[in-house]
Amino acid sequence: MTMTAMQSDARRVPAAKIEQAYRERTPASRALYDRALRTMPGGSTRAATYYAPYPAYMHHGAGCRLTDVDGNVYIDCLNNYTSLVHGHARPAIVAALADVAARGTVHGAPVEAEVALAEEIIRRVPSVEQLRFTNSGTEAVMGAIRAARAYTGRAKVLKMEGGYHGSYDAAEVSVDPGADPPMWPEGRPDGAGLSPGLTGEVLVAPFNDLSAVRSLVTRHRRDLAAVIAEPVMAAAGVIPATEAFLRGLRDLTREAGVLLILDEVVTFRLAFGGAQQHYRITPDLTTFGKLLGGGLPIGAFGGRATIMAAFDRRNPETIAHSGTFNGNMATMVVGRTALDLLTMEEIARMNALGDRLRRGIQDAADATGLAMTVTGLGSLRHLHPSRARIVDYRTAVAAASRPLSALLHLALLTQGVFIAPRGMVSVSTAMSEDDVDTVIAAFRTVATMIVEGA
Ligand code: PMP
């Protein structure tokens, strides 16, 4: 679709009507938001949960459904940004949480559950020989970068343009540099307040462009500790790597003596052994988070034992990696319960549901004449308001229409479907084909509203 056609779609969108319908359904959320504005900047404590005019405040979740404080019910296609792989309040997880709560959530000492969760991750992901737990994906990325720097004795890190790896300075470069980004390998720090030395330390490369990455790695190999990449760039628009890109990245980093960190915080759900199993590659280090905690905060990083030895405290010279809640029993028990429920069969079922969702939404968009491309892989998807081919950050930005995505999101809320404001959707094991079809039907209603300007 041409830019002009896309913009005219956006102009026809019945913005005021949709916002009015949203406001009428959500007065209690509005009241909570007004209250929150007094204690938190912008009324919010997490960038990803804010959207205009104000977010719906949730009251409870059960299975794949969320109920907000006004009693509106939504099918949850956000799943706390893909982390609730079993949806909400799954009975086995609730029971595990209740049981562990009665034994104390954290003891200031190691517990068996920590060993058991580590064993299960290592059983699933052969590239991970040893690992450490953290409380978030951000900290997992910090740990992996620290490990890579310690192991190689080099400082620089190369990341993909548009790649989001959490709220850590060395990862907050060119996450969303806009329509006029600097020329690679120069990056743009994402917002004020980051370390001024960042731009020299963090190099940026285009995703899915192997020859560009090869020339940057070759040129900077003497200073480069690691390349960090997601197998599917989630926040940039759920853009899968091509097999040639990811395998090529593995080969060229190995040849250059640079470590490859695969960020599987989001993509671990795609196969029993994570997306690295799907792509058949063996990274040096992997970062995890999200689903691993079964709904509680978690992160983990691990990989080759020789690299992870940098944290072996039997030797006092090593890195004193710590965290008050690292390996806390509540998260470890609940995480293991969630992982045990995430069988190969359930992963295959979820990926099939994701394919069904993609086909259904794409067909509904095409039938109604709404320009839309559904990207992604298996259970992870993104709705882009354009028919352009999306392969990296720049093609995603060129295809983007923030007003249209924002309206699509708000309109879907009024139809009882909860997705990420920027267009990401995921499915959970709590969903059935009927639930997916309900989402598709809601999308068709919204697409018609937008196209007809009704
Ligand atoms: N890596 C990736 C790929 C992510 O998407 C995120 C967060 N969405 C993180 C790291 C950071 O995880 P957390 O929010 O748990 O700090």
Within this chain, do residues 336 and 348 fall inside the same structural domain, yes or no? no
Dump the DSSP string for 348-366: HHHHHHHHHHHHHHHHHHH
Within this chain, do residues 326 and 351 fall inside the same structural domain, yes or no? no
Name 269's Cβ contacts closer than 8 Å, sequence gap at least 6.
82, 85, 290, 291, 342, 347, 350, 379, 380, 426
Residue nearest to atom 13 of ligand 1 (CA): 137
**Tell me, what CATH number does 364's domain have?**
3.90.1150.10
The CA distance from 434 to 427, in Å, is: 12
Residue 289 CA to ligand 1 centre (angstroms):
7
Closest atom, ligand 1, to C-alpha of 166: 11
Last residue of a domain, one of 319, 341, 363: 341
Torsion angle, alpha carbons of 449, 450, 453, 454, to 10: 10
Is residue 120 domain-resident? yes
> What six digits make up the tokens of 222?
């003497």
Is residue 2 domain-resident? no
Is residue 160 domain-resident? yes
pLDDT of res. 177: 96
Within this chain, do residues 282 and 396 fall inside the same structural domain, yes or no? no
Within this chain, do residues 193 and 321 fall inside the same structural domain, yes or no? yes
Domain range holding 432? 8-85+344-452
Around ligand 1, the residues with Cβ closer than 6 Å are: 81, 136-138, 141, 164-166, 230, 234-235, 263, 265-266, 289, 299
Nearest to 391 by CA among 162, 216, 226: 162
Residue 231 CA to ligand 1 centre (angstroms):
14
Chain CA centroid to CA 414, Å = 24
Within this chain, do residues 79 and 100 fall inside the same structural domain, yes or no? no
Last residue of a domain, one of 341, 361, 387: 341
Residue 256 CA to ligand 1 centre (angstroms):
27
Within this chain, do residues 428 and 379 fall inside the same structural domain, yes or no? yes
Note if 290 is an active site residue: yes
Is residue 170 domain-resident? yes
Within this chain, do residues 27 and 158 fall inside the same structural domain, yes or no? no
**Tell me, what CATH number does 253's domain have?**
3.40.640.10
Residue nearest to atom 9 of ligand 1 (CA): 166
Within this chain, do residues 446 and 394 fall inside the same structural domain, yes or no? yes
Return per-residue pLDDT of the chain as tens, 454 residues.
344 444 444 445 578 899 999 999 999 999 999 999 999 999 999 999 999 999 999 999 999 999 999 999 999 999 999 999 999 999 999 999 999 999 999 999 999 999 999 999 999 999 999 999 999 999 999 999 999 999 999 999 999 999 999 999 999 999 999 989 999 999 999 999 999 888 889 999 999 999 999 999 999 999 999 999 999 999 999 999 999 999 999 999 999 999 999 999 999 999 999 999 999 999 999 999 999 999 999 999 999 999 999 999 999 999 999 999 999 999 999 999 999 999 999 999 999 999 999 999 999 999 999 999 999 999 999 999 999 999 999 999 999 999 999 999 999 999 999 999 999 999 999 999 999 999 999 999 999 999 988 5
Within this chain, do residues 107 and 73 fall inside the same structural domain, yes or no? no
Name 384's Cβ contacts closer than 8 Å, sequence gap at least 6.
237, 372, 373, 374, 375, 390, 396, 399, 400, 423
Residue 137 CA to ligand 1 centre (angstroms):
5
Is residue 252 domain-resident? yes
Distances (CA, A) of 151 to 199, 249, 250, 260: 22, 19, 18, 12
Within this chain, do residues 163 and 182 fall inside the same structural domain, yes or no? yes
Is residue 201 domain-resident? yes
Is the pTM value of this prediction over 0.85?
yes
Q: Which residues pair with 239 in a beta bridge?
A: 233
Within this chain, do residues 41 and 136 fall inside the same structural domain, yes or no? no
Instruction: Quote the number of domains for the chain.
Output: 2
Tell me which residue has tokens 């310690």. Answer: 150
Note if 263 is an active site residue: yes
pLDDT of res. 197: 87
Of 68, 159, 284, 290, catalytic: 290
Nearest to 113 by CA among 289, 375, 335: 335
Closest atom, ligand 1, to C-alpha of 139: 16
Name 241's Cβ contacts closer than 8 Å, sequence gap at least 6.
207, 208, 229, 230, 231, 232, 233, 249, 279
Last residue of a domain, one of 289, 312, 341: 341
pLDDT of res. 13: 54
Within this chain, do residues 26 and 73 fall inside the same structural domain, yes or no? yes
Chain CA centroid to CA 104, Å = 30
pLDDT of res. 14: 78
Is residue 1 domain-resident? no
Is residue 213 domain-resident? yes
Note if 156 is an active site residue: no
